């Protein structure tokens, strides 16, 4: 319908309070009336419960979360834009960091920072006239499974990132399979959601997650599925995930600071463990 569209996000969190803290409000209503009396007041707490359920039901280990965090910090060291550029993270540092809420250490939690990001979307035939190599939008999907938004922590499928119905629609629209994904940018509000997202997008299974989600498999240029190659929400910046879309474009263009060779399919998974969640697949001209 539109010939040119811009999507942007700008954050100045110092003006409006910090996302990671419990709300400072005199009264509560809705789901918070069930949560707050028991001290359940922050996003980290709410998503940690889901990750704990995943660990219990599926045998996922803490090392999978650690690998996600280490991969993001590893890629940030090649990215001068990243907040954590020049501040590498080791496995020992991760393990020694304080618990925020189990199973999340400090480095399992996303950034809070000011900044802005934007993308420009035009028809494919017009994009060819631009200076930059086009990244083609092959598919986008949004939604949630049955009762995923049930209040008071009450969805029937609890240990999920909510992509189980969205991801199949995404792949069908793009006419590609999970095996064709060259690089993935997966929203890390917390690392537990990345593990769930990997599984629900077919990049591994519950049975193989501990084996696949290891650092060597997640880093550019030659990991099995390089993850969050700009540093992601954990180590580049926190633009509510819009910086992940930008990095997906860079990978198609061959312009990433942690470039994966010959990228044709670039996956973005946004907002795990929230409702609704959303997905996008970008492709090179060869993928059309």
Q: Which residues have a catalytic role annotated? A: 187, 238
Strands 183-186 and 265-270: parallel
Do the Cβ atoms of 114 and 239 come closer than 8 Å? no
The secondary structure element, H or E, covering residue 136 is strand 136-143
CA–CA separation, 188 vs 197, rounded Å?
10
Compute the half-sphere exposure of residue 218: CA atoms within 13 Å on the CB side of its CA.
Answer: 31
Write the DSSP assignment of 71-107 as a string of letters: HHHHHHTT-TTSTTTT----HHHHHHSPEEETTEEGG
Q: Residue length, the chain?
A: 288
* End-to-end C-alpha distance for the chain, whole angstroms: 21
């Amino acid at each position: 319908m539109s010939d040119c569209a811009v999507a942007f996000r700008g954050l100045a969190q110092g003006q409006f309070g910090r996302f990671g803290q419990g709300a400072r409000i005199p009264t509560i209503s809705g789901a918070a009336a069930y949560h707050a009396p028991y001290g359940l007041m922050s996003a980290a707490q709410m998503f940690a419960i889901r990750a704990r359920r995943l660990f219990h039901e599926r045998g996922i280990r803490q090392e999978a979360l650690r690998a996600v965090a280490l991969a993001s910090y590893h890629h940030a060291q090649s990215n001068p834009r990243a907040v954590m550029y020049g501040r590498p993270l080791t496995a020992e540092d991760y393990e020694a960091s304080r618990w925020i809420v189990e199973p999340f250490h400090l480095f399992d939690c996303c950034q809070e920072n000011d900044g802005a990001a934007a993308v420009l979307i035009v028809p494919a035939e017009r994009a060819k006239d631009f200076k930059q190599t086009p990244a083609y939008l092959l598919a986008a999907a949004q939604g949630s499974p049955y009762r995923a938004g049930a209040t008071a922590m009450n969805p029937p499928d609890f240990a999920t990132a909510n992509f189980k119905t969205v991801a199949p629609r995404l792949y069908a629209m793009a006419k590609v399979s999970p095996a064709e994904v060259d690089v993935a940018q997966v929203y890390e509000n917390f690392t537990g959601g990345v593990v769930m997202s990997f599984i629900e997008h077919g990049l591994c299974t519950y049975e193989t997650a501990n084996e696949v989600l290891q650092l060597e498999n997640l880093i550019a240029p030659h990991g099995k599925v390089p993850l969050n190659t700009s540093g992601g929400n954990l180590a580049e910046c926190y633009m509510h995930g819009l910086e992940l879309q930008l990095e997906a474009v860079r990978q198609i263009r061959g312009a990433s600071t942690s470039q994966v060779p010959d990228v044709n399919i670039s996956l973005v998974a946004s907002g795990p463990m929230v409702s609704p969640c959303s997905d996008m697949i970008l492709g090179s001209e060869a993928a059309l």
